[in-house]
A and B are shown apart, each in its own frame.
Chain A
C-alpha cells in the first residue's frame, strides 16, 4: 500500500565508539515489513520501494523515504524539546539554593566543613557539556551531562550504560542510489521532536528498478573529560544499506484490465 517509507536507525553509541565501527552496532527498521522489506532490525536492511507506473511507463505514484536516527541510550525522545535545558536550569537553581543555605546546615561547624560541603555540592551538580567546533574549540552548551533518568552523570560513579548520549545525526546520504538518480535525498527542517529539528528525506524514481546501495553518513558524539571540562567530541562514521525498487503497471479496479462500463446490478 502506498505510504511514506520511514527508515529508523538505532545506534549503540558506546559499542560503536569502542569498536570504532558501526558494524553490529546499528539496527535499521522500516515500516514495510509486510510489503517486502527484509532483514528488519539488523544492519543489513533491504527496504522495499514498491512503485507503480502507467501504461506509457511513466511513474504513477510518488515515493517518499524518510530517515530517522536515534541512540539506544538517551533521555526518552518523546520528552519536550526543552526538557534538557529546563532540567539543567533546575539543577543549577538547586545548586545555588544549596550554596545559599550552606550556613544553616546543622552539621556545619568549621570552615573546613563549609569547604567540604561546598565541594560536595559542586560535585553533585555534574558537568556542563561543551561541544567541539570545527576549529577544535570547546563551547559551553549550558546543558548538564545527564544520565537516562535526567540526573547529573558522574563519570566513574554512574554506570557507563546510564549515560544519556547526545543524539547522533545524519549528515549526508550518498552512494550508488544517489549517483544513478534512483533517490534524491535532501535535509529538511521539521518541528517533530524525534527528528530534533532536521531530518533527511528523499523522493525515488521507481522507473529504475533493481537493488541499489546507498551510504548514510552519521556523526556520533563521544563524551570526553579533560581539565575538568566535559565535551562531546564528534566521531564520523558511515553505514551502507540497500533499496529494492520494483514497479508494477496500473490497471482498472473493476475489470483488472482495461476500462469498461460500470458494473451495475
Chain B
C-alpha cells in the first residue's frame, strides 16, 4: 500500500473568477492505487485506506494568476441529518495561505464505502470575490 496519495486540483482561475464558480473550472486527479472515480473532474472520489497520508496540492492553469487552498472542511457523513446542510460561511483562514501544507492521515475510524465529502475552498487574489469553493470532492475508504 502506498504511504501517500496526492490529490492535485487544477483550477482555471480566470474562468472561475469570471463566473464566480469553480464548478466548470476545476479538474482534480489523484494517484491512488485503488481506482478512484471521477479523475479529471470536480467530482473526484479518492479511494484510500486508514494510515495513508492524503495531500492536496493546487495548481493554477494560468501561471500568473495565483491560487491557494484557503481551507478544506469535511462535511458530516450521516445522510439522515446534517449531510445536506449548508456548510458554515466560508472565511479567510489565515493571511498567508502559501504557508499551509494541506496533508493529513486517514483515521482508522473512517467507515468503509461511505463518501466523506469535503468543502474545498480556493482563494484567488484578494477581496470579497476571491473565495470560491466546491463540495463535490470526496474520500472513500476502500
Contact = CB atoms under 8 A, between A and B. Distances in A.
Interface residues of B, number: 37
13 contacts: A1-B66, A1-B68, A250-B101, A251-B99, A252-B104, A253-B72, A254-B72, A256-B100, A259-B53, A260-B104, A260-B105, A262-B105, A263-B74
Contacts of A253: 69, 71-72, 93, 100-103
B40 interface: no
B104 A249 contact: no
A34 B126 contact: yes
Chain A facing B: main interface SS:
loop
Contact-residue bracket for chain A: 20 to 34
Contact of A3 (B65, B102, B103, B109): B65
A190 interface: no
B55 to A, nearest CB: 9
A248 B64 contact: no
Contacts, number: 82
Given A262-B74, A264-B74, A251 B98 contact: no
Task: In the A-B complex, list the 7 residue pairs whose CB atoms are closest, starting with the nearest.
Answer: A253-B100, A3-B66, A262-B104, A253-B102, A1-B66, A261-B107, A265-B76
Contacts of B99: 52, 248-251
Contacts of B68: 1-2
Nearest to A31: B64
Contacts of A265: 74-77, 82
Interface in B63-108: 63-69, 71-72, 74-77, 82, 93-94, 96-107
A261 B105 CA distance: 4
